[in-house]
Structure 1
Amino acid sequence: MNTAAAVADFRRYPLVQALTAATPLADRVQVTWADGRVSPFHHQWLRDNCPCPQCVYSVTREQVLEIVDVPEDVGPCEISIDDAGHLCVVWQGGHQSLFDPGWLRAHAYDDHSRAERLANKPRRQLWQHDLKLPVFEYQALMVDTDALLQWLLALRDIGLTQVRGVPTEPGSLKQIAQRISFIRESNFGVLFNVQSKADADSNAYTAFNLPLHSDLPTRELQPGLQFLHCLVNDADGGESIFVDGFAIAEALRQEDCEAFDALCQIPVEFRNKDRHSDYRCLAPIIALDALGQVTEIRMANFLRGPFDTSVEQMPRFYRAYRRFIALTREPRFRLVQRLEPGQLWCFDNRRTLHARNAFDPNSGARHFQGCYVDRDELLSRILVLQR
């Protein structure tokens, strides 16, 4: 059951449990479900979420009503469950609201329902050196939406994937990146060429080894996804190295909680400067979400300024910083693999730290192309495909 009149959304809400009773209370309506669960809904919450065309524009499915335009003591004069199983509320003043039971169950905020939603959220899979790398084929991703969805889910939950069979003509990367969404442009361009060059404006464009890092930590919002596509790789060396930054953070939380707290609390200024630009961002190395889960790692030793914290905190922070980098160097966390022509890495740049061994530019050509797509675009594309 999913009637457009009762759901102000583009998603579908299957009927999990039918409504069996609706009981009016002083400031809320208490509904009972077929499985015995009881869910209270405050009057203001129900009125605020009325999906009728007066309250929600049916074309965009976006809310028109602002709750401040409804009396604070709003209450119903009639409550019922209709023959189709909807919760029907007639409000004082005559306004009517019709709530789909699938939608209502999905948004119930009793303790049991909220805990159930939290338990059903996607779970990230932490990994170490022995990760069974998720590998996908280019042709399948370009034509098969089921294969595309599986790739995007792996990016969301694991944060590191490889795609094989990609054409090696320059610019080919753009087509597969746009299977997710539009590409995020930076001062390095829409597509950037990773090659050793004399006038480099980043250490990435040299033959040096690059330590583990996230790209563009100097930006308020680091890019979400990073693509690195191998066109030519005849040079000796240059192997790719990856660690799961979330796994590093969780290991630090378990093994050295004082160091973990310091990296969550004390900000670092990251800087990216060349002749024509100067980007700076002050933020902690480990960011947490509202539930205390690690949501972002911001790290690039070669793009940071001098630490700036109190005299008392400076030794504490240096100890934590050294501990974090030492963990990234432990073999248990490091996945090392050489990328060959026609292969590409796609990974969560705000989670998966990447590095490159030094290579010998005199031993052969090496040409990669890269680009960025924001994490929001990945998550949006997943939800649309899952509809």
Structure 2
Amino acid sequence: MNTAAVVADFRTYPLISALGSVQTLADRVAVEWADGRISPFHHVWLRDNCPCQQCVYSVTREQVFEIVDAPDDLQPTAAHIDAEGCLCLDWHDGHRSRFDPGWLRAHAYDDQSRAERLAGQPQSHLWRSDLQLPVFEYTALMEDPAALLQWLIAVRDIGLTQVRGVPTAPGSLKLIAQRISFIRESNFGVLFNVQSKADADSNAYTAFNLPLHTDLPTRELQPGLQFLHCLVNDAEGGESIFVDGFAIADALRSEDPASFQALCEIPVEFRNKDRHSDYRCLAPIIALDALGRVAEIRMANFLRGAFDTSVEQMPRLYRAYRRFMAMTREPRFRLMQRLNPGELWCFDNRRTLHARNAFDPATGARHFQGCYVDRDELLSRILVLQR
């Protein structure tokens, strides 16, 4: 069935099972599917999601109807399955609704349907030092939408990828980042140059080692994706180090649940200050989503302010913080690799902690360029490509 005409969406929905029968009850409609599943839909939910052109503007596919404008005693006078297999409802105020069975099944909220949707959501693939690094070719990503989709899914689910064959002319990074979406500008610019310089406004622009961290934890919303593109790398040292912050959080939850809970509950302030700006954010190191899954790691010891919590909580926070940092140093979690000219890292900055060994600028030039793209843009691009 072509669902475009009856679904207020830009997507189409496969017909998993046909509608078998429909029964009207006091406050809901009970649908029995051909595969035997029974899905209840409350009257108010059905009226709220009516996809007709009176309720949804066909150009933007956005709702114009508001449920508060429906009668309080909302009831259908008739419910049936039409010749095309759609659920049709006549409401007592004269309105009519028609629901595509593919869309209806995809949004059913009986326990079994909701469990299926949850199981079908993208899953983070946790990794350790033995990660088989996903590697992609620049030309394919620039020319082939299927290769682009494969890369973006790897970024989403694994959180660390490498691209090879990238031109080494300054500014080349912008082209591949824009294959996802627009670049997020920060106080470091649209593209930032990672080089040792005397007037550095960040430790990243020195030859020091950088311990494992996420970039810009000082912002309310940390950048989602970070790109680091190698233009020149002749200096000795400077190897890149990565750990999967989600894997460390998962291990911490299992091995030391009290410390895990402390890092989820007690906020820490991060500060990023230079001669012209002063950014600060107070947030927990581990953030959970609405389902209790780890959604974000916020960590940069060199940007951390003094802990500010109660006298009773202070030892608990320090114990948890030290444990987390110690785990990031464990060989079981760490992946280290030198980046060569024409290669770039693309990783989830809100998940994957990155570090750099010290390098010796007297032994050769070292020039990386970087930029940020928000995680929302990655997820949107995946969905559009999957259409």
What TM-score do you get using the length of structure 2 for normalisation? 1.00
The 2-side partners of 1:308 and 1:12 are apart by: 51
Q: Which segments of 5 or more consecutive residues in structure 1 lack a partner in the other structure?
A: none
Q: Which residue of 2 aligns with 1:276?
A: 276
Q: Which residue of 2 aligns with 1:160?
A: 160
The 2-side partners of 1:187 and 1:124 are apart by: 31
Residue 3 of structure 1 and its aligned partner are, at CA, apart by: 3.2
Q: Which residue of 2 aligns with 1:89?
A: 89
Report Cα offsets for 1:195-231 as digits up to 9, x if no partner.
0000000000000000000000000000000000000
After superposing on structure 2, the runs of 4+ consecutive aligned residues of structure 1 that deviate more than 2 Å are 2-5
Aligned residues of 1:155 and 1:161 also touching (Cα < 8 A): yes
Aligned residues of 2:212 and 2:354 also touching (Cα < 8 A): yes
Q: Which residue of 2 aligns with 1:136?
A: 136
Q: Which residue of 2 aligns with 1:202?
A: 202
Task: Give the AA of the match of 1:38.
Answer: I
SS at match of 1:347: strand
Q: Which residue of 1 aligns with 2:237?
A: 237
Q: Which residue of 2 aligns with 1:15?
A: 15
SS at match of 1:150: helix
Q: Which residue of 1 aligns with 2:305?
A: 305
Task: Give the AA of the match of 1:15.
Answer: L
Does 1:339 find its partner at 2:339?
yes
Aligned residues of 1:5 and 1:52 also touching (Cα < 8 A): no
The 1-side partners of 2:73 and 2:359 are apart by: 71
The 2-side partners of 1:313 and 1:140 are apart by: 52
Aligned residues of 1:248 and 1:328 also touching (Cα < 8 A): yes
The 2-side partners of 1:13 and 1:164 are apart by: 36
The 2-side partners of 1:5 and 1:227 are apart by: 41
The 2-side partners of 1:71 and 1:306 are apart by: 56
What TM-score do you get using the length of structure 1 for normalisation? 1.00
Q: Which residue of 1 aligns with 2:259?
A: 259
Task: Give the AA of the match of 1:190.
Answer: V
In the alignment of these two chains, the number of paired residues is 387
Q: Which residue of 1 aligns with 2:61?
A: 61
Aligned residues of 2:77 and 2:91 also touching (Cα < 8 A): yes
Aligned residues of 2:240 and 2:354 also touching (Cα < 8 A): yes
Task: Give the AA of the match of 1:189.
Answer: G
Aligned residues of 1:2 and 1:102 also touching (Cα < 8 A): no
Does 1:106 find its partner at 2:106?
yes
Q: What's the C-alpha RMSD, in Å, of the aligned pairs?
A: 0.5
The 2-side partners of 1:305 and 1:167 are apart by: 39
Residue 5 of structure 1 and its aligned partner are, at CA, apart by: 3.3
Query: Aligned residues: percent identity?
Result: 82
Report Cα offsets for 1:278-318 as digits up to 9, x if no partner.
00000000000011000000000000100000000000100
The 1-side partners of 2:86 and 2:305 are apart by: 59
Q: Which segments of 5 or more consecutive residues in structure 2 lack a partner in the other structure?
A: none
Task: Give the AA of the match of 1:156.
Answer: R
Task: Give the AA of the match of 2:310.
Answer: S
Task: Give the AA of the match of 1:373.
Answer: V
Task: Give the AA of the match of 2:157.
Answer: D
SS at match of 1:372: strand
